[in-house]
Structure 1
Amino acid sequence: MKERVSILDGNTFLVCDRRGDIEPSFDFPTGLFSFDTRFLSTWLLTLDGQRLHALSIDDAQSYRTRFFLAPGEPTHYLDAKASVIRSRSIGGSFAEELTVLNHSEQEVEFTLRVDMGADFADLFEIKHERRKQGRTTPTVGHDKLRLSYRREAFCREVVISTSTRGEIDDRGMTFRIRVGPHGEWTTRLHVAAVIYGARGEDIRATLPLGGHRVAAAIHAEQDELIDRAPKLGCDCQPLAGAYRRSLNDLAALRYESITLGVRLLAAGLPWFMTLFGRDSIFTSLQVLPFLPKMVPATILMLAGLQGSRLDDFRDEEPGKILHELRYGETAGFEEQPHSPYYGSADSTALFVILLDEYERWTGDASLVRQLEPQARAALDWIDTYGDLLGTGYVWYVTRNPETGLQNQCWKDSWDSISYRDGRLPAFPRATCELQGYAYDAKLRGARLARTFWNDPAYADRLEREAAALKERFNRDFWIPEREYYALALDPEGRHVDALSSNIGHLLWSGIVDESRAARVAEHLLGPRLFSGWGVRTLADDEGRYNPIGYHVGTVWPFDNSIIAWGLWKYGFREEAGRICQSMLGASRFFDGRLPEAFAGYERDLTDYPVQYPTACSPQAWSAGTPLLLLRVMLGLEPQGEHLIIDPAVPEGMGRVELLDIPGRWGRVDALGRSRSPHDHNRGH
């Protein structure tokens, strides 16, 4: 598999190969992207007509990279008489400094060429290889190349300028240079991506942080955010490395909304650099004990875009929380329904859960009171539009069969929900974790109603409904002969009986009967689901199991963090610790950055975690995983005005110390140490 190298600064990111090159391919998409449009599809460097090869890459910082390159094949490195240093940074715009070094004793003439091109592809066009409907026009100047794209009122532009005079044509720039003995030559290229609004203004320039930022400003902003986070001291190097990398990635993934100008967390690079309801909520839950100030903007944005009408094209319904918000051409021309799109059946209940959890940590009662109408609308959605069949469960089926998502749970690929033999059930579907989220949302909504909304009658009603849902769920979803909960119910109420990681989310929600929790924990840590690196999305003896299938056998770090949290809630501290250890062990093989997903192969088979071929990296809820695992290991739980600390650090990790944990209590410290082998608490 080719290796991607990326740099990003929230709104803008660049993906290239190990040489720093960008080529217009679809099987390995690279480019300069901003707000769902690819502004560079070609950026290819040659020296005297030869492609270059990477000697080394310095990509320690998210917004800056250096490539050390030499011409010729790798076997010729020792004979290279020249090399090139390619230094680049990103901060709204993209800048690249090219330095050619002459290592010989004579003056040498070189021809340096950068092929440049912009296809202005929408991300959906890249994924599905769709042709553009508009027209691209090049304009060649004496020191710049301007490429403009227009389709009716939709206009995007990229302006490429150089600090050194060269030969500029509509496909790039050529520099014919002389470099003295052991000398060097440098030019600086600057690429500005322009998004025109309805009145012809550059929309990005109107954002609070502006369209362009220097590296020093990005560095200072990221450092400021990281400095606000609790300080970790520990004996476990994988934990220390993963924690630092997670904070760096979360800082880098923040972006400015083009509509409201607030700072939000993008879901992941390269495909999901935008707001996702479900992903943003789960990430917020993960980071809440560490960086609570990152959370309110997400809550407010989701509340502000809450569904208010019936719109089949967008899967919108009153009270529903969005799934995905896009800014590109296909959304603008309604070729895709993502402006925004509401095709998720879980984000609405999760919104209420996050609002309550946020208040429990921060004491921010004003936000809870401000968003009472939105929280009530979300709770109403659960019992109205969410309950499609009137059975008291949350079901889903898209209103838009042409472009809507088929599966609207977190496992939203087409084949993720199946019977044991691999058959796919009909729609609508009621997956098990949706019921757990609804149960939790009702209980949390009851607390908010009683404590902040002055509506005890509504609180009593929600608690009665939650209790009835729990009883009904444990009757209808439990498969007695297999002793686990069904993945889903089909439209006839029959069990969709595959064994999946979803049962771990049931523990997190609290909907599992105490008498069945131990059996659920055994399944999660048993050989069918647990690979040694983590819990697989689907058990390895199911019909659709594939260790490198997106949701049918891979291991997802975010999924495992929620499962660990659920095990902890039911008292299974050792089992939760095993997942923490496996995730942190895997992170060592990814330089501390857990990817979106990795293969479900047995640990003994591969000896290292095998990355899923097209996994996002960094991805927000994977970056949040080490943070939530820390919360689990230290047993952090808000209770009134206090933070309960009840550590259970897994064997071999030694000391784990987290200082200055923020919350309604001010800032407190937590310390935990590994337990001895005979001191396990195995839960209920």
Structure 2
Amino acid sequence: MNSDVVRILDGNMFVVSAGNGDFEPSPSFPTGLFTLDIRHLSTWVLTVDGKRLSALSMDQPRYFEAKFVLVPGEPTLYVDSDVSIIRRRDITRSMCESLTVLNHGIDPVDLVVRVEVGCDFADLFEVKNAEPKKGERSTRIEDGRLCHHVRWDTFQRSTVISASTPAEIDEHGFTFRVHVEPDGSWGTDLHVETIGPNGRDVRTNLQGQAGRSKPQVRNELQDWLDLAPQLISENDLLELTYQRSLVDLAALRFRPLTSGAARAQADDQYRLPAAGLPWFMTIFGRDSILTSLQALPFAPQLANATLRLLAATQAVALDNFRDAEPGKILHEFRYGLTAASGEQPHTPYYGTADATTLFVVLLDEYARWTGDTALVQNLEHQTRAALAWIDEYGDVLGNGYIGYQRRNERTGLENQCWKDSPDAISYRDGRIPDVPRSTCELQGYAYDAKLRGARLARTVWDDPAYADRLERSADELKRRFNRDFWVADGSYFAIALAADGSQVDALSSNIGHLLWSGIVDADKADAVAGHLMGPRLFSGWGIRTLAEHEARYNPIGYHTGTVWPFDNSFIAWGLRRYGYRQEAARVGAGILDAANFFRGRLPEAFAGYDRQLTGYPVEYPTACSPQAWSTGAPLLLLRVMLGLQPQDGDLAVDPELPSEFGRLELRNLPGSWGRKDLTFEVG
């Protein structure tokens, strides 16, 4: 994305435009107004007397609104226009745009103000893959409104645009003939409604209530911020990053429509984060779980919402098209035309090998932090089903390890771990292993899930026999894992085992997740930490996804050498778990330093170039931003560096902070202990 791209969002409705507020279809990026995976506006271009407008300034007071100050014509060295235009946009009730034309001259002016409109109703997958667009489209003018419509079988969407002042309306837009006196102004409001099959706004259908007004959305944001702990630091950039993380998490929250049970639970109190703008503005099991883990000390309500929703949509039967198996937690849920037509399996799709174990991890961590054992009781059946899935279906090769092989050979995902690009899992020499394959971090998650499930069984469900079985199974998994995945000639763990049991021996960041899960034997931890902090993996900003000198290493490869902030946050947590306090703080400091170059908003990924080479983190060219688990990364890193850990109903604190943090206060930290204020002195 270019730096002049403007993004506003509210849950899974978003607008991506140029710096002057215009947008037209782009061959490489999803510009336009999207909601529930459909582009309801593909063209929205403002002209005055046939001239495009140039931006003098752009401001985004909040994530759901933007203001543009514009002048007609191309930008020049000197701006001396008699006319300027103020363009205000928000997406609190669908999309609203307010236009104000100002006459700064000494004479009256007569102007032709034109808004060019186009609606292609492209599915997000059609945009991403440059595919032909499905459905029958029609346009009509009715009761002073411009109405666009698409229909494919039972799938229907409409875009209805109206203006608050008289206009000449044609199939391609609105024309206003305007007279403005000297020092005068003219204005109009344009309203864009995104309509579903029953004639109501699609987000009203989703939420079961009318759209929210701008004051309501402002109040929601303020309520969200008021609930979160307050961070006060001598380091202004740390404060900025913390605040930006909280605001971006608020922006990404939405109420997904998945089933009657889930909808009943997904009320105002239970909204979970969409994965990331622009491609992933929907529920992703893995992303929502990991983001909720990152944010748990600061916004535990996200974990509550995520657990309830994922439990309500847990698979109960085999479904090859959706890669569903009993007990499995969903990967992705989509609402667009490709999902409705059956071209894509995302209604929902279960093709992930890690969300099911991570669901158990989140439930236990949530209970330990909040003391909410009622939720653990309510989700006992779903949690047992998730734990049963590990051995009954997750072990695809029958070798005692979680692996993956898609059931849906046509449109299912081949790589079903978090590094899901085709070249992400490789041998040292660059060869790609056949599937099924078992990546190392999946085994760590399974080990952790079994131990945490055992704790819940013993302390909440009163089933010590079940707890004993889970613990024995976890111990055996750890023993075999440290034997089978250990690359003896490199002193690190293989990224995966291939279908034939051979080690896929590339050195990768995955080994850091093993520390987080606790599956690494103590006598191997020093070597793992040494690799993570060594020059092949650690760039100075963070830990690369793949080590330098591996055959497929590429500093701008999506999963083959870039630095992912979320990845680093869990690696830091793992380093801290094994006692590598300074190393964890070094990772945290590097990622937070990088955040300063992105105005506090960490992107999905940035390049793996050495810090000494570039002097600044180079953003990955198509990175999502904001992205949920990158937004959550500073929160988890802060927890790690402060040494915050729930312990027997109280909070243990053991800080290891960089000297540049200075004095730091964290006020109103929630947990089973109520609320606590913490103060830290560094240096």
Fold agreement, TM-score > 0.5: yes
Q: Match for residue 435 of structure 1?
A: 443
Q: Report 1:388-427 matches (<5 A).
A: 388-427=396-435
- The code of the aligned residue for 1:497 comes to D
Asked if the contact 2:29/2:128 (under 8 Å) is kept, the reply is no
Report the Cα distance in structure 2 between the residues aligned to 1:205 and 1:510, rounded to whole angstroms. Answer: 44
Q: Distance in 2 between matches of 1:537 and 1:234?
A: 31
Give the secondary structure class of the aligned counterpart of 2:618.
Answer: coil
Secondary structure (helix, strand or coil) at the match of 1:74 reads: coil
Opposite residue 2 of structure 1, the aligned amino acid is: N
Amino acid at match of 1:186: G
Asked if 1:530 corresponds to 2:529, the answer is no
Please tell me whether residue 343 in structure 1 is matched to residue 339 in structure 2.
Answer: no
The answer (yes or no) to whether the contact 1:110–1:176 under 8 Å persists in 2 is: yes
Q: Quick one: percent identity of the two aligned structures?
A: 60
Does residue 664 of structure 2 align to residue 656 of structure 1? yes
Identify which range, 620-629 or 128-137, moves more after superposition: 128-137
Among 566, 572, 583, the residue aligned to 2:580: 572
**Comparing 406-415 with 69-78, which one deviates more in the overlay?**
69-78
1:204 correspondence with 2:200: no
SS of the residue aligned with 1:384? helix
The SS at the match of 2:327 is: coil
Show CA shifts across 1:335-391 (max 9, x none). 100000001000010000001111101111111111111111111111111101111
CA contact 2:332–2:350 (8 Å) conserved in 1: yes
Could you tell me which residue of structure 1 aligns to residue 226 of structure 2?
227
Q: 1:77 to 1:23 in 2, by over 3 A?
A: farther
Report the Cα offset of residue 8 of structure 1.
1.1
Cα distance in 1 for residues equivalent to 2:187 and 2:664? 48
Taking the TM superposition and a 5 Å limit, the aligned residue runs for 1:353-368 are 353-368=361-376
Letter in 2 for 1:602: D
Counterparts of 1:541 and 1:80, CA distance in 2: 57
Distance 1:482 1:370, change over 3 A: same
Structure 1 residues not aligned, in runs of 5+: 676-684
Alignment of 1:13-52 (within 5 A): 13-52=14-53
**Partners of 2:357 and 2:419 in 1: CA distance:** 16
**Counterpart selection for 1:382 from 386, 390, 411:** 390
**For residue 588 of structure 1, what is the aligned residue in structure 2?**
596
* C-alpha deviation, 1:160, in angstroms: 0.4
* Native 8 Å contact 2:10 2:91 kept in 1: yes
Kindly provide the CA deviation profile for residues 244-264 of structure 1, in whole angstroms up to 9, marking residues without a partner as x. Answer: 001111111111223444122
Which residue of structure 1 aligns with residue 571 of structure 2?
563
Corresponding residue SS for 1:439: helix
Q: Name the structure 1 match of 2:280.
A: 272
Task: Go from structure 1 to structure 2 and tell me whether the alpha carbon gap of 1:415 and 1:532 turns closer, same or farther (over 3 Å shift).
Answer: same
**Conservation of the 8 A alpha-carbon contact between 1:557 and 1:625:** yes
Is residue 446–residue 459 contact of structure 1 (8 Å, CA) maintained in 2? Answer: yes
| Letter in structure 2 aligned against 1:187 | T
Under a length normalisation based on structure 1, what TM-score does the superposition of the two structures give?
Answer: 0.96
Q: Does 1:68 align with 2:69?
A: yes
Counting only pairs closer than 5 Å after superposition, residues 595-606 of structure 1 correspond to structure 2 as 595-606=603-614
How has the CA–CA distance of structure 1 residues 93 and 604 changed in structure 2, closer, same or farther, with 3 Å as cutoff?
same
Q: Which amino acid is the alignment partner of residue 475 of structure 2?
A: A
Q: Amino acid of the residue matched to residue 42 of structure 2?
A: S
Q: Which amino acid aligns with 1:222?
A: L
Deviation at residue 189 of structure 1 after TM alignment = 0.5
1:672 aligns with 2:680: yes
Q: Normalising to structure 2: TM-score of the pair?
A: 0.96
2:562 equivalent in structure 1: 554
Corresponding residue for residue 167 of structure 2: 166
Give CA-to-partner distance per residue, 1:550-585, whole Å, 9 cap, x none: 111111110010011111111111001111111111
SS at match of 1:411: coil
Contact 2:134–2:337 (8 Å) recurs in 1 = no
Whole-angstrom CA distance in 1 between matches of 2:422 and 2:194 = 35
C-alpha distance in 2 between matches for 1:641 and 1:203:
43
What CA distance in whole angstroms lies between the structure 1 residues aligned with 2:128 and 2:205? 30
209-218 or 241-250: bigger deviation = 209-218
Whether contact under 8 Å (2:252, 2:276) holds in the other structure is: yes
The answer as to whether partners of 1:9 and 1:92 remain within 8 angstroms in 2 is: no
Q: Which residue of 1 aligns with 2:150?
A: 149
Contact kept, 8 Å, 1:204 with 1:258, in 2: the verdict is no
Q: Are 1:489 and 2:497 counterparts?
A: yes
Cα shift readout 1:206-227 (whole Å, capped 9, x = no counterpart): 4546342221111100110110
Instruction: Compute the displacement of 1:135 (Å).
Output: 1.2
Query: d(CA) in 1 for partners of 2:185 and 2:272?
Result: 42
Counterpart code for 2:250: A
**1:339 match: secondary structure:** coil
The 1-side partners of 2:361 and 2:26 are apart by 41
C-alpha separation between the residues in 2 aligned to 1:449 and 1:258?
Answer: 31
* SS, match of residue 61 in structure 1: coil
Whether the aligned pair in 2 keeps the contact of 1:12 and 1:91 (CA below 8 Å) is no
- Inter-partner Cα distance in structure 1 for 2:292 and 2:29: 31
Q: Is the 8 A contact 1:649 1:673 kept in 2?
A: no
SS at match of 1:575: helix
Counterparts of 2:74 and 2:614 in 1: how far apart (Å)? 31
Q: Which residue of 2 aligns with 1:500?
A: 508
Letter matched to residue 379 of structure 1: L
Q: Match of 2:243, as an amino acid?
A: R
Matches within 5 A, 1:80-479: 80-141=81-142, 143-197=144-198, 203-208=202-207, 210-259=209-258, 260-261=262-263, 262=266, 263-479=271-487
Tell me the SS of whatever aligns to 1:75.
coil
8 Å Cα contact 1:396/1:430 also seen in 2: yes
Write the deviation string for residues 16-35 of structure 1: whole angstroms up to 9, x where unpaired.
11111110122122011111
Counterpart code for 2:22: D
Alpha-carbon distance in 2 for matches of 1:352, 1:264: 17
Q: Distance in 2 between matches of 1:84 and 1:526?
A: 54
Looking at structure 2, the residues matched to 422 and 74 of structure 1 have their Cα atoms a distance apart, in angstroms, of 49
Shift in Å at residue 123 of structure 1?
0.8
Deviation string for 1:646-679 (max 9, x for gaps)?
111122221222111111111112233335xxxx
| Matched AA of 1:257 | P
| 1:204 partner letter | R
Decide whether the 8 Å contact of 1:163 with 1:187 is kept in 2: yes
Q: Residue 201 of structure 1: CA displacement?
A: 5.5
Distance in 1, Cα, partners of 2:653 & 2:288: 26
Please state whether the residue corresponding to 2:91 is helix, strand or coil: strand
- Check the 8 A contact 1:253/1:268 in 2, yes or no: yes
- CA apart distance, 1:542: 1.2
* Deviation for aligned residue 1:149: 1.2
Give the letter for the 2:41 counterpart: L
User: Aligned partners of 2:134 and 2:632: how far apart in 1?
Assistant: 39
Native 8 Å contact 1:529 1:536 kept in 2: yes
Residue 101 of structure 1, CA deviation: 1.8
Q: CA deviation at 1:445?
A: 0.6
> In the alignment, is the contact (CA less than 8 A) between 1:203 and 1:258 conserved in 2?
no
SS of equivalent to 2:149: strand
1:2 maps to which residue?
2
**Aligned mates of 1:381, 1:660 — CA distance in 2:** 39
Secondary structure (helix, strand or coil) at the match of 1:385 reads helix
- Runs of 4+ residues deviating >6 angstroms: none
Aligned AA (1:164): T
Q: AA paired with 1:29?
A: P
Structure 1, residues 445-471: CA drift from partner, whole Å, max 9, x if none? 110111111211111111111111111
Farther-moved stretch of structure 1 (139-148 vs 427-436): 139-148
Deviation at 1:429, TM superposition (A): 0.8
Are the counterparts in 2 of residues 634 and 670 from structure 1 also a CA contact under 8 Å? no
Mean Cα displacement is larger for which, 132-141 or 90-99? 132-141
Query: 1:493 & 1:100 partners in 2: Cα distance?
Result: 69
